[in-house]
Structure 1
């Protein structure tokens, strides 16, 4: 159980915002208690997921990963925020079905060294999980599959693309959204009875995102100074990603040049040997 006054203060929520949702505090407290009971199970499911599918990072096409379960307080904050912003979509959410609405109770981050490496992970994850558009959820209640043994991709994979990104994404494979400052892959997997959200980012992008989330999002988005500093850090992260790609491209070009020079030297040696043999025969 959590006290209403303490919760509203901690998460910077106005009483009017809570009232706008039409939800009684007793119902939110019941969701809080229910989630606290199932969270240990969700942690185990998250651990099972990474052990089964991500432990071999080379096979998964990633640099590294981490996972977590959502904090109970953050769950309530998100329900209040979503219900006030999208009342029709979250009209029937309650203590018995909230896990059908929330697709990020179990969250996994996968990281890439280079932004172009997203395709390796995409090919991997769509090969180990069923990716049928017929399974994509539209109605969170009606489309929820109660079979815990049915593992599948529950939404069309999508990517938020940073303004200025080169064409590294294929719209035939993934839904491309232009966010302006944010770059991240998103996959929703139905696994062992719950949704698992996978986000994919570069290491530089993750650094900016974590700092922005810790300081700005979602409670200080209206703070002009904090937002400006976050935007500046975001630009630096984007430049770092660009530089990383250039570094790798230069390395590849130099390797190709060295291989070409080596092949030319070997061909020259072979030609000289053949000419030497020809001279020896003539003598």
Structure 2
């Protein structure tokens, strides 16, 4: 038993050593920069009166968080090595796309799928929309995206993409509204990497999730009203010019 524990510890140390070396970090950064640039410079997502993409975040997984994940994988009987690290751990790098209201998501999804259809990106798995709200479930399923309900009421859409070059390294793309980002940041601060045991905190996070959903829905309504108002004024102006 002692030998097994020692071997497991050495293996984890070897994985972390491989992960943190300069060449591996360079490989991670290359893909991260490419995905970031696609969303940051894409004119389709930025040339509207209100840009589709509000802001972007990115991250490379912290080595300590990776070590914690390797231990949890080991507890499930999964041994990670430098050879299978990219295959087994799919969230080593991530880009988060933030937008103001739900309707904007359609444009972001369309751009991602365009890259997939052009075979520049490969989906590591089908996209998932984490949501507990029935209206949101209908919205995402209408776009062909599977929905998943988490006990925590987590809300976000996840894609796993990799380049069409034979490399198994994935980049996790998360798409969410600014309201959902507020919830996610609070949840992450107290609930990651290990769930908090406080029942009160868990219940309060669920309440906050419902408030966030209400805020996102209200944002949708505001922008719909705004667009209707502008369309009406434009129609009136055109009619006036005809007279």
Normalising by structure 2, we get a TM-score of 0.81
Alpha-carbon distance between aligned partners in 2 of 1:131 and 1:152, rounded to the nearest angstrom: 10
Q: Which residue of 1 aligns with 2:171?
A: 196
SS of residue matched to 1:122: helix
Residue 71 (1) aligns with residue 57 (2): no
> Which of 82, 103, 106 matches 1:119?
106
Q: Which residue of 1 aligns with 2:192?
A: 217
Number of positions where the alignment pairs a residue of Structure 1 with one of Structure 2: 227
Q: Do the aligned partners of 1:131 and 1:153 also contact (CA within 8 Å) in 2?
A: no
Residue 212 of structure 1 and its aligned partner are, at CA, apart by 0.7
Residue 27 of structure 1 and its aligned partner are, at CA, apart by 1.0
SS of residue matched to 2:80: coil
Q: Which residue of 1 aligns with 2:227?
A: 252
- If asked which structure has higher relative contact order (CA below 8 Å, sep 6+), I would say 2
Q: Which residue of 2 aligns with 1:32?
A: 16
Residue 34 of structure 1 and its aligned partner are, at CA, apart by 1.1
Alpha-carbon distance between aligned partners in 2 of 1:235 and 1:128, rounded to the nearest angstrom: 33
Q: Report 1:17-96 matches (<5 A).
A: 24-37=8-21, 38-51=24-37, 53-60=38-45, 61-84=52-75, 86-87=76-77, 90=78, 92-96=79-83
> Which of 159, 181, 196 matches 1:187?
159
SS of residue matched to 1:154: strand
SS of residue matched to 2:170: strand
SS of residue matched to 2:140: coil
Q: Which residue of 2 aligns with 1:233?
A: 208
Unaligned runs of 5+ in 1: 1-17, 133-149, 271-283
Alpha-carbon distance between aligned partners in 2 of 1:212 and 1:264, rounded to the nearest angstrom: 52
Q: Which residue of 2 aligns with 1:174?
A: 145
CA deviations 1:143-174 (Å, max 9, x no partner) are: xxxxxxx7422211121123243432235632
Q: Do the aligned partners of 2:159 and 2:173 also contact (CA within 8 Å) in 1?
A: yes
Q: Do the aligned partners of 1:159 and 1:175 also contact (CA within 8 Å) in 2?
A: yes
CA RMSD, 1 decimal: 2.7
Q: Do the aligned partners of 2:156 and 2:176 also contact (CA within 8 Å) in 1?
A: yes
CA deviations 1:61-84 (Å, max 9, x no partner) are: 422212110011111212222443
